[in-house]
Amino acid sequence: MDVLSDVMAVVRTGQPRSARHQWRSPWAQRFDPVPGSIGFQVILQGPCRLTREGAAPVDLAAGDIVLRPRGRGHTLASGPGEDSTTASVCGAYQLDAGHALALLDDLPELIHLPGHLDRQPQLRATAELLATELDRPRPGTAAIVPALLDILLLHMLRTWLDQQSAGGVANGWAAALRDPPIAGALRAMHRDLARSWTVAALAAEAGLSRTEFARRFALLLGRPPLAYLTWWRMTTAGRLLLQSDAPLRVIAAEVGYRSEFAFASAFKRHFGIAPGAHRRGGNPVARSGSDR
């Protein structure tokens, strides 16, 4: 089980959006906030400068990628005295606000991936394919663009995680996914969500003592193992409620609850809304703490 892919498949919602822009100096373009989204800019040609409230400007060049995990607004503009053409691809991925918080907690407000893309050939190739489809739409483009956007997002997050791992970060997703015992327990949890997991069983998957596993898991991911398990079960259940017409008892069994009543009670404790209301169009926001 690929934990990163699994998490992103659940927290993303709706269709991603993208557009290609081109400007001739002098120019400035404001990109408004898109609450509840991850936004990005891929600089295809020419230099520019990104400015945002309360932070120093960021100079960008062809090949640079900027990821805005919290969807806040920013401005791109030509630099002082520049006389050039700049082109970029921008886009946004809408997130389920009730489920994305644990992932976004680890991401900074702005991620700048410099344009040394010869080190990241897959990222470069995906960005170029996306730009080509947006420039010259053909039959199939409507299906190809969302697929490329999904691939691009995963490559951007993978690149950032690799950078964090190389920098020796002490906790968070990057540290957890590169820690073999904890990563093994996460894969087991995501692979078999319906299993009646205990801390002892997860510790066995990790090859650690119960005490050491619980300590290490909480240190890296900021919550105890069973609190994480509850969050992921409820996150998965929320997606299933919206994307299928399966009865509550079937969804309950799929996410590890033996009865529809126990599942409905846990869901309401966690989100403050009943599963049926969520299915009819509610917008749950996860409460803090463990609900197991």
291 falls within a domain: no
Check whether residue 144 and residue 253 sit in a common domain: no
Contact 189, 232 (CB under 8 A): yes
CA–CA gap between residue 266 and residue 263 (Å, rounded): 5
User: Which of 166, 200, 223 delimits the end of a domain?
Assistant: 166
Check whether residue 10 and residue 150 sit in a common domain: yes
Residue 192: per-residue pLDDT:
94
Contact 85, 23 (CB under 8 A): yes
pLDDT in tens, 142-158: 999 988 988 888 888 88
pLDDT level of residue 202 (50, 70, 90 thresholds):
very high
Check whether residue 24 and residue 158 sit in a common domain: yes
69 falls within a domain: yes
134 falls within a domain: yes
287 falls within a domain: no
pLDDT in tens, 243-290: 889 999 999 999 999 999 999 999 999 888 999 998 887 555 444 344
Contact 273, 282 (CB under 8 A): yes
Check whether residue 10 and residue 100 sit in a common domain: yes
Most confident of 101-115, 229-243, 250-264: 250-264
- 160-164, 175-179, 183-187, 199-203: segment of lowest average pLDDT: 160-164
Contact 226, 197 (CB under 8 A): yes
Residue 285: per-residue pLDDT:
47
Residue 70: per-residue pLDDT:
83
User: Which of 111, 136, 166 delimits the end of a domain?
Assistant: 166
User: Which of 140, 166, 192 delimits the end of a domain?
Assistant: 166
Percentage of residues in the chain having pLDDT higher than 70: 88
The domain that holds 38 is classified in CATH as 2.60.120.280
- Secondary structure of 264-289 as H, E, C letters: HHHHHHHHCCCHHHHHCCCCCCCCCC
CA atoms in the 13 A half-sphere facing the CB of 58: 23
pTM of the model as a whole: 0.76
286 falls within a domain: no
**Does residue 169 have a pLDDT over 70?**
no
Q: Is the omega angle on the peptide bond into residue 26 within 30 degrees of 0, that is, cis? A: yes
Check whether residue 28 and residue 73 sit in a common domain: yes
- 74-78, 81-85, 167-171, 204-208: segment of lowest average pLDDT: 167-171
Beta-carbon count within 10 A of 46 CB: 20
117-to-58, 128, 149 alpha-carbon distances in Å:
18, 11, 17
Check whether residue 183 and residue 161 sit in a common domain: no
pLDDT level of residue 104 (50, 70, 90 thresholds):
low
**Does residue 167 have a pLDDT over 70?**
no
173 falls within a domain: no
Residue 208: per-residue pLDDT:
97
If one counts the domains in the chain, the total is 2
Q: What is the DSSP letter of 136?
A: S
Q: Which two tokens stand for residue 236?
A: 């998965």
Most confident of 90-99, 100-109, 170-179, 233-242: 233-242
CA–CA gap between residue 141 and residue 118 (Å, rounded): 26
> What residues make up the domain containing 251?
179-279
Residue 15: per-residue pLDDT:
74
